[in-house]
């Protein structure tokens, strides 16, 4: 319909006896030139949208498309036959309806996008401790690497946590993990850069320069609120830094884990 209006107006540049022939030639050329791009758009964009969009948004999209059809139809009619009060009234009504439908569809799309963002945030948070998870650690560390910002990963493994679960049950074990998280946040004043990786394994992403002092403070932690008489049994820490120890987050985390394991082995050796 748009091409018809365009070709009709261009056709008036030629003698009136060739008007319809000019319109036909212009439309044919435009169709031939735009067909490959239209097919590419339909295959890559439009079909993908139709396959993945929700039904209520599809209905809005169809209504908007229908209203655009009427707008272009009325525009063509006005070009050919001229305007009247009735056609102007109908045109105004269709445009208002199109605007309302467009806003409704945009609102639906924004709502869906917000829900997807909220769901993504939920999947990046540990359900028990409400800390960020391993995926968040990778993303945050990668962002620092891309910005060439120095940082240190501190890998934390709780000592003798298995004995807490075995002796007191998993409910007390969960309370132990929650209290550990609260204590670290309060005493070390850490509101961000604190992650639960798995089970009793945690990690910190810190920008502090004096890591040794920070780790010594960490190892002196004591629970403020002891869950059912289970006092804090300590933790083993291992560190790696960017860019000193590398620029690959997986290797940095593995190195921090390895250094933590060496410290834990030394503790066991001294304990025996």
Angle at 257 between CA 255 and CA 260, to 5 degrees: 110
Q: Collapsing DSSP states into helix, strand and coil, what is residue 193? A: coil
| DSSP label at residue 230 | -
Band of pLDDT at residue 68, cut at 50, 70 and 90: confident
Specify the pLDDT at position 272. 43
Tens of pLDDT, residue by residue over 89-141, are: 777 777 777 777 777 777 766 676 666 566 666 678 888 898 999 888 998 99
Q: Which helix (H) or strand (E) holds 240?
A: strand 235-242
Give residues with Cβ within 8 angstroms of 159, minimum separation 6.
233, 234, 235, 236, 264, 267
Span of 44-48, 236-240, 257-261 with lowest mean pLDDT: 44-48
Burial code of 215-224, b = ≥16 C-beta within 10 A, e = fewer? Answer: beebeeeebe
Tens of pLDDT, residue by residue over 17-59, are: 777 787 778 878 888 888 888 777 767 766 766 666 677 777 7
Specify the pLDDT at position 62. 77
Specify the pLDDT at position 180. 92
Question: Which of 71, 91, 93 is CA-nearest to residue 83?
Answer: 91
Tens of pLDDT, residue by residue over 179-208, are: 999 988 887 777 678 999 988 999 999 886
Is 77's pLDDT higher than 90?
no
């Amino acid at each position: 319909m748009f091409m018809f209006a365009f070709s009709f107006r261009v056709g008036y540049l030629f003698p009136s006896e060739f008007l319809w022939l000019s319109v036909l030639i212009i439309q044919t050329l435009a169709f031939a030139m735009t067909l490959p791009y239209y097919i590419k758009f339909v295959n890559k964009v439009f079909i993908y949208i139709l396959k993945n969009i929700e039904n209520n948004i599809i209905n809005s999209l169809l209504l908007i498309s229908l209203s655009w059809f009427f707008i272009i139809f009325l525009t063509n009619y006005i070009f050919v036959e001229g305007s009247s009060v009735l056609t102007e009234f109908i045109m105004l009504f269709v445009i208002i309806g199109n605007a309302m439908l467009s806003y409704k569809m945009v609102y639906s799309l924004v709502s869906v996008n917000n829900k997807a963002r909220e769901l993504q945030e939920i999947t990046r948070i540990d359900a028990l401790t409400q800390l960020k998870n391993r995926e968040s650690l990778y993303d945050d560390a990668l962002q620092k690497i891309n910005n060439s910002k120095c940082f240190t990963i501190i890998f934390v493994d709780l000592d003798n946590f298995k004995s807490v679960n075995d002796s007191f049950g998993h409910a007390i074990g969960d309370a132990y993990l929650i209290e550990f998280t609260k204590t670290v946040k309060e005493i070390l004043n850490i509101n961000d850069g604190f992650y639960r990786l798995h089970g009793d394994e945690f990690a910190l992403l810190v920008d502090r320069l004096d890591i040794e002092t920070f780790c010594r403070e960490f190892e002196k932690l004591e629970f403020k609120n002891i869950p059912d008489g289970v006092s804090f049994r300590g933790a083993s820490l291992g560190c790696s830094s960017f860019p000193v120890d590398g620029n690959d987050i997986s290797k940095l985390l593995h190195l921090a884990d390895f250094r933590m394991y060496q410290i834990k082995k030394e503790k066991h050796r001294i304990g025996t």
